[in-house]
Chains A and B, each alone.
Chain A
Amino acid sequence: MIIAIASGKGGTGKTTIATNLAMCLQKPVRLLDCDVEEPNCHIFLNPDLDGGERATLPVPVIDEGLCNNCGECGRICQFNAIVSLKTKPLVFPALCHGCGGCMRVCPTGAISEEGREIGTVETGTSGHIEFVQGRLDVGQAQSPPLIRAVKRHIAEEGVTIIDCPPGTSCPVIAALKGCDYAVLVTESTPFGLHDLKLAVATVRLLHLDFGVVINRATPHDVMVREYCKKERIPVLLEIPDDRRVAEAYSRGKLIVEAVPELRESFERLCCAIISRIQHRDAAPIPCAGTTPGVS
C-alpha cells in the first residue's frame, strides 16, 4: 500500500503530514522522502542513516578507436548532450537524459554507457519506521531519475509513505506514479486554494484516488472547505492554526509528540486513508488508530 503526500506548492506541511502519519502507523511502515531537492523528513525523525548509495544516470562514453565520425549520435540526441563535429564526438554528461539513443544508433558500436552520479539514496531506521531518502547533488538539474531510484525501495508489505516534491511538474509525476492514494496538503488561504486546484488536476490526470488535509486551518477561512465540498473531495483532516504546531516544527519536533491532542487526529487520518484504499484492496492492514472496527 503506497500513500503519497503531495501539494501544489511547497511549505504547506507535506513533510509534517508524512512524518506524523508514519509515526502513527503500525509496523511495517516505510517512509520514502522523494523531495530530493530539499529532503527534510530526517530532521523530524532523526534516523540513523547509512553512508548511502550513489544514484547514477547512464551517459555515453565514446571509444574513439571505433568511431568513424558518421555523426549519427549527434543527430539523434534531442538534448544537445552529444555533438559530432569534424573531430570525434563531444559528450556533455550534465545535459544527458540517459535515453540511450546514441548508443543504439551508433553503427560501429563505439558508444557504451557509464553511470554519472546525480545524488545519494540513504537508508536508515527511526523507531519502528524504515526510512529512505534521496538527496540531489547541488547543481544537478534532473531529479526524476533520483526519485525513481528512491522508489525502488517501496516495501512489498505494509504501508509505504512517499513525501513528494512540491508542485505539478515532472518530479511530482515521477513521485506520484504507481501510488495507491494521494493526500494533498493545503492551507486555507488564496495561495493554498490556487495551488490545491493545480494539485487536484495533477492527481486526476494520473487517475489517483485522493483526499485533502487542510493545514493551519482557522474557523473563518472557509474557501478550501467550500471548494472541496463543491468538488466532492474528502477533507481527511484539519490541523488548526496553532502556534504550538509552528513552534514544534521550527524545533524539528513531531507534532503528535508536541501537541498530544493531535495524535488522535492523525490516528483517525491513518484509518480514513487505509479504509479508503481497502475498498479496492482486500488485504487488511493493521491500524494503530482507536477507531472501532479498524484496528
Chain B
Amino acid sequence: MKIVISSQGNTLDSMVDPRFGRAAQFILYDTETEKFEVLSNQQSLNATQGAGIKAAETLSGRGAEALITGHCGPNAFQTLSAAGIAIYIGADGLTVAQAIDKFKAGELRTAQAPDVKGHWQ
C-alpha cells in the first residue's frame, strides 16, 4: 500500500508538516517494500490559491491510497475523498517514521470531515 506523509524535510526522521496543501514536501512510502521517495510540493506552494486541491491532485496522480498529515481543510478534504485517498490527521508533532509506525499499528484516526476552516468560505 502506498501512503503519503506531509513532511517538513526529506528523510523519515523529519517532522510531519502539520499543513497539507502548503506542506514543505511529501514522503511517498510503500508499506510492502518499506522504501520511500520524496515528492515535491512546489506546484502547490507556488499556487495563488487552492493549494490543498493541487496537492491532492498530485498525490492522486502518484497512486497514493492514504494520507497522513496534521490538519485538513474542506477543499483538500473534498478532493482527497473524490480521489479515494483515506485521510489520517493529527500526526503533527511526530516524525515521519513515528507516524508510519502509528499508521501500521492502527493508532491514527481517520478524518470524517475537514478539521480546520478553509481559507475561503
A interface with B by C-beta (< 8 Å): 74, 78-81, 83, 85-87, 90, 92, 94-95, 139-141
Contacts and interface: CB of A to CB of B under 8 A. Distances in A.
A83 B78 CA distance: 11
B120 A83 contact: no
A87 B82 contact: yes
Nearest to A92: B75
A138 to B, nearest CB: 9
Contacts of A86: 60, 83-84
14 contacts: A80-B47, A80-B49, A81-B50, A83-B56, A83-B57, A85-B57, A85-B82, A86-B83, A90-B82, A92-B75, A95-B50, A95-B75, A95-B120, A141-B120
A249 B120 CA distance: 34
Contacts of A92: 50, 53, 75, 78
A79 B48 contact: yes
For the residues of A in contact with B, the DSSP-based class is loop
Contacts of A94: 118, 120-121
A80 B51 contact: yes
Given A74-B57, A94-B120, A141-B120, A85 B50 contact: no
B79 A90 contact: yes
Given A86-B60, A95-B120, A80 B53 contact: yes
A80 B54 contact: yes
A78 B120 CA distance: 17
Contacts of A141: 120
Contacts of A87: 82-83
Contacts of B49: 79-80, 95
B58 to A, nearest CB: 11
A48 to B, nearest CB: 31
B3 to A, nearest CB: 18
Given A85-B83, A86-B60, A80 B50 contact: yes
Instruction: Give the size category of B's interface with A.
Output: 10 to 19
Contact of B121 (A78, A90, A139): A139
Contacts, number: 48
A141 B48 CA distance: 13
B84 to A, nearest CB: 7
Given A85-B57, A85-B83, A139-B121, A90 B78 contact: yes
B66 to A, nearest CB: 16
Nearest to A139: B121
A79 B50 contact: yes
A85 B120 contact: no
Of listed B54, B60, B82, residue having the most chain A CB within 10 A: B82
B55 to A, nearest CB: 10
Contacts of A85: 56-57, 60, 79, 82-83
A139 B118 CA distance: 11
Given A79-B48, A83-B53, A95-B120, 19 more contacts: A74-B57, A78-B48, A80-B47, A80-B49, A80-B50, A80-B53, A80-B54, A83-B54, A83-B79, A85-B79, A86-B60, A86-B83, A86-B84, A87-B83, A90-B82, A92-B50, A92-B75, A95-B75, A140-B121
Nearest to B78: A90
A249 B118 CA distance: 37
Which are the 3 A-B pairs with shortest beta-carbon distances? A80-B50, A139-B121, A85-B83
Nearest to A137: B121
Indicate the member of B50, B57, B79 with the most A CB atoms within 10 Å: B50
